C-alpha cells in the first residue's frame, strides 16, 4: 500500500525582515517544492497575519507543523531565527525528514 505523504513545512527567518521580501522568499520556495515534488506546502507567510504577535504566529505555525507535516525545509537563514530554531527542534523530536537549503 502506498503511504500518503503529509505536507512540507518551510522554516526560515521572518522577524526583523521586510514583509515583502519574506513573502517572496517563502513563496518562491513553496513553488519550487510544489513543482519538483507535487506535495502540499505549509507556508508560514500564508497561515499567519502580518499584525499577529510573534507568539500567536509560533502557536499557529507549530500546530500546522505537528498536525499537517512530515518534512521540514530549512531555508539558509534559519540559524538567525528563534522561531525556526524551535521549529527545527520540534521536527527533530518528531523524526521528520529535514531538507537543508
HSE, CB side, 13 Å, CA atoms: give it for residue 84. Answer: 19
Task: Indicate yes or no: pTM above 0.75.
Answer: yes
- CB-CB contact of 6 with 68 (8 Å): yes
Fold adopted by 7-100: Rossmann fold (3.40.50)
pLDDT tens sequence across 35-52: 999 999 999 999 999 999
Per-residue pLDDT at 1: 46
Cβ–Cβ contacts within 10 Å for residue 95, how many?
8
In the block, cell 497575519 appears at 49
Cell of 89: 527542534
At 5, the pLDDT band (50, 70, 90 cuts) reads confident
For the chain, which residues make up each domain, given as ranges? 7-100
Amino acid at each position: 500500500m502506498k503511504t500518503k505523504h503529509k505536507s512540507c513545512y518551510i522554516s526560515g527567518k521572518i522577524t526583523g525582515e521586510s514583509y515583502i521580501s519574506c513573502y517572496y522568499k517563502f513563496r518562491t520556495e513553496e513553488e519550487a517544492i510544489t513543482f519538483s515534488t507535487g506535495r502540499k506546502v505549509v507556508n508560514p507567510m500564508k497561515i499567519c497575519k502580518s499584525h499577529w504577535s510573534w507568539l500567536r504566529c509560533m502557536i499557529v505555525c507549530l500546530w500546522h507543523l505537528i498536525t499537517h507535516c512530515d518534512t521540514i525545509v530549512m531555508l539558509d537563514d534559519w540559524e538567525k531565527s528563534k522561531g525556526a530554531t524551535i521549529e527545527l527542534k520540534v521536527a527533530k523530536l518528531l523524526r521528520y525528514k529535514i531538507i537543508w537549503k
